[in-house]
């Protein structure tokens, strides 16, 4: 009963949050000595990931669910834009012992 009074307010807040575009940011993930750092990253759809591979080895950042597959050549920085929501475990196709998680919110 009492909560009913707040429903419109809650609805406005929720809708508002959905309508206002989230500020897209750039997030850096480094590959150094066969390690993705940070190992766990939270981001939003539309954010850009700047992948810097400091190794002399070619790596990839490959989503286990197929959402993305980024080639990260040795000693280079590449960028990719996140397009899908989800908690995605990703790994390097060449060295599957390299693993990390990217949590992508709407």
* List of residues contacting other proteins (CB under 8 A): 33-34, 56-58, 74, 92-98
Structure tokens at 100: 């990390």
Q: Which residues of 62-75 are buried (b: 16+ CB within 10 A; e: fewer)?
A: bbeeebbebebeee
In degrees and rounded to multiples of 5, residue 32 shows phi and psi of: -140, 125
Q: Which is nearer to other proteins, 6 or 94 (CB)?
A: 94
Structure tokens at 29: 């993930």
Q: Which is nearer to other proteins, 43 or 100 (CB)?
A: 100
Q: Which is nearer to other proteins, 47 or 62 (CB)?
A: 62
């Amino acid at each position: 009963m009492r909560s009913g009074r707040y429903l419109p307010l809650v609805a406005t807040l929720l809708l508002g949050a959905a309508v206002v575009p989230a500020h897209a940011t750039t997030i850096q993930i480094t590959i150094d000595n066969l390690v993705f750092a940070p190992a766990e990253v939270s981001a939003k759809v539309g954010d850009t990931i700047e992948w810097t591979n400091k190794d002399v080895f070619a790596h990839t950042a490959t989503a286990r669910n197929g959402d993305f597959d980024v080639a990260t050549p040795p000693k280079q920085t590449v960028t990719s834009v996140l397009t899908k929501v989800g908690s995605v475990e990703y790994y390097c196709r060449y060295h599957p012992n390299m693993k990390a998680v990217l949590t992508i919110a709407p």
